[in-house]
Amino acid sequence: MDFQLNEEQLTIKYAARSFAQNICLPKVIERDEHKTFPYEQVYKLAEQGFLGLMVDPKYGGAGMDSLSYILSIEEISKIDASCGVIMSVNNSLVCHGLEKYGSDYIKENYLTYLAQGIKNGKLYIGAFMLSEPESGSDASAMKTTVKDMGSYYEINGIKNWITNGSTASVYIVLAQSDFSKGAKGINALIVESQSEGISVMSPENKLGIRSSDTCSVIFNNVKVPKENLIGKPDFGFNFALGILDAGRIGIAAQALGIASGAYELALQYAKTRKSFGKQIIQHQAVQFKLVDMLTQIEAARLLTYRAGIEKDSGHAYSIDAAMAKLVASQTAVQVTTESIQIHGGNGYVKDYHVERLYRDAKITQIYEGTSEIQKIVIGRYLMK
Ligand code: CAA
């Protein structure tokens, strides 16, 4: 497997790095503090093609490969992990899902705009709605219903922990059509967020990724056109799990970015901060911490890049994605913790950025399948 980056991959990596430094970094602390959605940053990400990176240009995307996508999320998340998750959800869970399984009608009417991230001059992004108050890891236990009303579908229920919940123009909603069928009775539908009967709840007050938009959304007799069904009836759960494989690569890239950002800050700090008459990097205790951090990051990076390459090669990649997310998220939590330790008291205050990365890291072990779920996915493979 070749990890040598080609010219296109290097170009997008440096473009994302420059975007993060120039567009995301200013006011990132304030956005985190006040839970401000990074509207201007996401709009600019859309303008520069970062919201539909892997989508075929005939549907408005940038037509790049998964490694380019991973590199972009990694670079953006080093500075602003909230922008990282917004990118990941739109690219992987929404655009990739619609490109792979959507009808021509869906591609023309929704994917084309979602891949560009802009419609009629306004931000146009998507959200993926699987989780509910009583079904997170056990995703097929959902209670939201979809009823075939003849000329349209009707959705009732509540979805929660929805990234882009109040900003999205389009939702991909998973709902149960027949409880007796369990996972085989679930449908996936596209719902426009302005549809009658939709209520968006207040944003959650989160530990980290505070400027991303996370909320619950209630559906009360919401009518959905028949042509908005994704794939065949009752294909929804397979669709959701298949798309989550791709989503997990995006979250692994986000975790990798958080870890790398915290490592780079610690390295820089260790070279400038002095104690006992020398730079703290010259103390072996600090040096060893940095060595462990870098080694863990490189291991997570190899797994994440490999998952992206496997996805593009057309091989089954569920296990690669699960391993990448499992290791990258653990790396993010451990590296940000050690970065604070190296920063000492300075790491515990907001000005040094590492405090935010520490808070941002935790969610990568929870969303798009907890670490325990990744182990279930890998463990089931062992039993085959
Ligand atoms: N791709 C496609 N289909 C798959 C699949 C995959 N990776 N894995 C399983 N399936 C299929 C199975 O083959 C089966 O279909 P058949 O019966 O036709 O063979 C069907 O899906 C059901 O599979 P299981 O019996 O394995 O399902 P399960 O109920 O035991 O659950 C699970 C498996 C792995 C635990 C799954 O429920 C899971 O991944 N849970 C975690 C949910 C999750 O990740 N939620 C994240 C929310 S989204 C989010 O966080 C987004 C955000 O905003 C950031």
**pLDDT class for 2, splitting at 50, 70, 90?**
low
DSSP code of residue 205? -
Which CATH homologous superfamily contains domain 237-382? Butyryl-CoA Dehydrogenase, subunit A, domain 3 (1.20.140.10)
Arithmetic mean of pLDDT, 336-345: 98
Cα of 11 vs centre of ligand 1, distance in Å, is 35
The best mutation among 217, 230, 241 to test binding of ligand 1, ranked by most ligand atoms within 8 Å of the C-beta, falls on 241
Distance CA(285)–CA(263), nearest Å, equals 15
How many angstroms separate the alpha carbon of residue 369 from the centre of ligand 1? 9
Whether 114 shows a pLDDT value over 90: the answer reads yes
How far, in Å, from the CA of 177 to the mean position of ligand 1? 17
- Specify the ligand 1 atom closest to the Cα of 131: 47
- CB of 366 within 6 A of ligand 1: the answer is no
What is the Cα Rg of the chain in Å? 21
187 contacts 236 by C-beta, under 8 angstroms = yes
pLDDT exceeding 90 applies to what percent of the chain? 99
* Cβ proximity of 297 and 305 under 8 Å: no
Helices and strands: H and E segment counts in the chain: 13, 11
pLDDT bracket for residue 237 (50, 70, 90): very high
The set of catalytic residues is 368
Taking all residues of the chain, what is their mean pLDDT, rounded to a whole number? Answer: 97
State yes or no: pLDDT of 384 exceeds 90: no
Q: What is the pLDDT of residues 72-106, one digit of tens each?
A: 999 999 999 999 999 999 999 999 999 999 999 99
86 CB near ligand 1 (under 6 Å): no
- If one counts every other C-beta atom within 10 angstroms of the C-beta of residue 31, the result is 23
Question: Binning pLDDT at 50, 70 and 90, where does residue 3 land?
Answer: confident
Between the CA atoms of 37, 41, 47 and 52, what dihedral angle is there, to the nearest 10 degrees?
-60
Maximum C-alpha span of the chain:
79
CATH 1.10.540.10 boundaries in the chain:
7-123
Structure confidence at residue 22 (pLDDT): 98
Ligand 1 binding pocket includes 376 (Cβ within 6 Å): yes
Start-end of CATH 1.20.140.10 domains in the chain: 237-382
CA pair distance 315, 121, nearest whole angstrom: 38
Q: Which CATH number fits domain 7-123: 1.10.287.610, 1.10.540.10, 1.10.3720.10, 3.40.50.80?
A: 1.10.540.10
Specify the residue for token string 């426009």.
192
Q: How far is CA 29 from CA 24, 36, 37, 216, in A?
A: 10, 10, 12, 25
Contact 176, 144 (CB under 8 A): yes
Could you read off the pLDDT of 51-73 as tens digits, one per residue?
A: 999 999 999 999 999 999 999 99
- As annotated, the residues of the chain forming the CATH 2.40.110.10 domain(s) are 126-235
Residue 129 Cβ < 6 Å to ligand 1: no
Looking at the predicted structure, is the pLDDT value of residue 1 above 70? no
Q: Which pLDDT band, with edges at 50, 70 and 90, does 49 fall under?
A: very high
Span 148-176, pLDDT tens digits: 999 999 999 999 999 999 999 999 999 99
Provide the pLDDT for residue 122: 97
* 245 ligand 1 Cβ < 6 A: yes
Reported as a single tens digit per residue, the pLDDT across 238-255 is 999 999 999 999 999 999
CATH class of 126-235: mainly beta
Q: How far away, in angstroms, is 238 Cα from ligand 1 center?
A: 7
Q: What is the pTM of this model?
A: 0.98
Distance from CA of residue 136 to its chain's centroid? Answer: 16
Range 347-367 burial, b when 16+ CB lie within 10 A, else e: beeeebbbbbbbbbbbbbbbb
